[in-house]
């Protein structure tokens, strides 16, 4: 662990330097002159929503991840609020977005911002700021989010096909993250966002009742699940039960901490994509290294900031929407 810490510090500093070069128009405090209360307005909207429904906090974190993992035929087109657009062929209707929530919180913040600073703050930045606030409000680290994103001008159903899936094996997860400019460390850290929140039995059912071994064959339950935990999961998710909610981080779903990593290492990961981190030497080593490490929270922040730059539009690209669910031209 003594060797790991300086390496991670250097990686974080290099990340911030690279971001300032390749995404120079994203900067902390971007709205300090044009809309000085922007971040406070977003935080207030998140706080109000969480007061009525605390489960909205992990949903907002998931919303940013789903917004950023978008790829067209020629380039990454993420972090541009395209997931908020409504329409028959819009990105949000992709099956990868099942159960996505939090859009109404972004819209509430946007309405307040339009009253205070019309045409200034993008929906894409609201998504990023709301995710940041969700982490802090669940006991995670508070951190600065570089802003200055613009909203995208397209939202296509199939562009979300690249989004990682709960059934993806570790090889595919690593490939999907790599193509987005994210490495194994980012994969582990961003997966650790599952330290808060729940999932529907729909996303667990195949692992419990219709598991397929790599290369085909199998059936039944995932043999990697310890028997007592398998019984626990089956008691919560009966055959045909798609809607019951199960904590992603067994025993600590309401608090941002590293227990999700401990669960992954002990075989108590709920969804297959979390469990997959233990199937690769590279990701397993990282999971083990972050357990109990003071570096976990800081490096999670670095991964979040890095993810938030995927395909980000700045300057004169894109637009600042008046309403987050529709393009200004509609």
Q: Which residues contact 290 (CB under 8 A, 6 or more apart)?
A: 188, 189, 192, 258, 261, 296, 299
Residue linked to tokens 């199937």 = 279
Dihedral (C-alpha) 101, 104, 106, 111: value to the nearest 10 degrees? Answer: 170
Spatial distance between the Cα atoms of 125 and 241, rounded to a whole number of angstroms: 37
Give the pLDDT band of residue 58 (cuts 50, 70, 90). Answer: very high
Q: By CB neighbour count within 10 A (0-12 exposed, 13-18 middle, 19+ buried), where does 330 fall?
A: exposed
Residue 295, pLDDT above cutoff 60:
yes
Give the pLDDT band of residue 217 (cuts 50, 70, 90). Answer: low
- The residue-averaged pLDDT of 164-170 equals 93
Residue 195 is assigned to a ligand binding site: yes
Domains of the chain with bracketed CATH: 4-163 (1.10.520.10), 170-302 (1.10.420.10)
Residue 199 is assigned to a ligand binding site: no
Residue 53 is assigned to a ligand binding site: no
Query: Contact 43/51 with Cβ under 8 angstroms?
Result: no
- The residue-averaged pLDDT of 45-60 equals 97
Residue 138 is assigned to a ligand binding site: no
For residue 305, the number of C-alpha atoms closer than 13 Å in the C-beta half-sphere is 26
Residue 4, pLDDT above cutoff 50:
no
Residue 164 is assigned to a ligand binding site: yes
Spatial distance between the Cα atoms of 78 and 261, rounded to a whole number of angstroms: 27
Interior angle at CA 275, CA 255 and CA 301, nearest 5: 45
Give the pLDDT band of residue 215 (cuts 50, 70, 90). Answer: low
Residue 218 is assigned to a ligand binding site: no
pLDDT of residue 50: 98
Residue linked to tokens 């709301």 = 130
Q: Please indicate whether residue 97 is annotated as part of the active site.
A: no
| Of 20, 38, 28, residue with least CA distance to 147 | 28
pLDDT of residue 212: 80
Which helix (H) or strand (E) segment is 113 a member of?
A: helix 103-116
Which parts of the chain are beta strand (E)?
A: 198-200, 245-247
Residue 70 is assigned to a ligand binding site: yes
Q: How far apart are the first and last CA of the chain?
A: 54
pLDDT of residue 32: 97
Residue 141 is assigned to a ligand binding site: no
| Of 201, 200, 90, residue with least CA distance to 153 | 90
pLDDT in tens, 228-280: 999 999 999 999 999 999 999 988 888 999 999 999 999 999 999 999 999 99
Give the residues across from 287 on adjacent strands. none
Total Cβ atoms within 10 A of residue 112 = 17
pLDDT of residue 10: 40
Number of H helices, E strands in the chain: 13, 2
List 23, 66, 97, 268, catalytic entry: 66
Residue 22, pLDDT above cutoff 60:
no
Cα separation values, 262 from 146, 288, 323, Å: 31, 8, 42
Q: What share of the chain has pLDDT > 70, as a percent?
A: 90
| Mean per-residue pLDDT of the chain | 90
pLDDT in tens, 83-137: 999 998 999 999 999 999 999 999 999 999 999 999 999 999 999 999 999 999 9
Helix extents (H) in 117-219 = 123-137, 170-179, 184-191, 205-209
């Amino acid at each position: 662990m003594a060797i790991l810490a300086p390496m991670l510090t250097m990686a974080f500093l290099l990340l911030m330097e690279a971001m300032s070069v390749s995404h120079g128009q994203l900067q902390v405090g971007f709205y300090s002159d044009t809309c000085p209360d922007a971040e406070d307005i977003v935080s207030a909207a998140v706080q109000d929503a969480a007061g009525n429904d605390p489960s909205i906090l992990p949903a907002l974190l998931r919303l940013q991840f789903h917004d950023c993992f978008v790829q067209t035929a020629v380039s990454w087109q993420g972090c541009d609020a395209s997931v908020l657009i409504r329409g028959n062929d819009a990105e949000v209707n992709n099956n990868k977005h099942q159960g996505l929530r939090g859009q109404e919180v972004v819209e509430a913040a946007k309405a307040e911002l339009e009253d205070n600073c019309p045409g200034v703050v993008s929906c894409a930045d609201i998504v990023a700021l709301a995710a940041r606030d969700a982490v802090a409000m669940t006991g995670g680290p508070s951190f600065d989010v570089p802003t200055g994103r613009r909203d995208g001008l397209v939202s296509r159903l199939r562009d979300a096909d690249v989004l990682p899936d709960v059934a993806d094996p570790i090889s595919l997860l690593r490939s999907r993250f790599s193509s987005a400019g994210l490495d194994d460390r980012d994969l582990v850290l961003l997966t650790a966002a599952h330290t808060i929140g729940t999932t529907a039995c729909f996303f667990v059912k195949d692992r419990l009742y219709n598991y397929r071994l790599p290369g085909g064959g199998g059936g039944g339950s995932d043999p990697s699940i310890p028997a007592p935990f398998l019984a626990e999961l089956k008691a919560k998710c009966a055959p045909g039960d798609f809607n019951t909610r199960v904590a992603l981080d067994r025993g600590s779903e309401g608090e941002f901490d590293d227990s999700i990593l401990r669960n992954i290492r002990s075989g108590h990961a709920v969804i297959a994509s979390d469990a997959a981190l233990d199937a690769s030497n590279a990701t397993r080593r990282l999971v083990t290294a972050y357990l109990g490490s003071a570096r976990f929270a800081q490096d999670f922040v670095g991964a979040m900031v890095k993810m938030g730059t995927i395909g980000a539009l700045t300057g004169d690209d894109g637009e600042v929407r008046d309403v987050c669910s529709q393009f200004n031209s509609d």
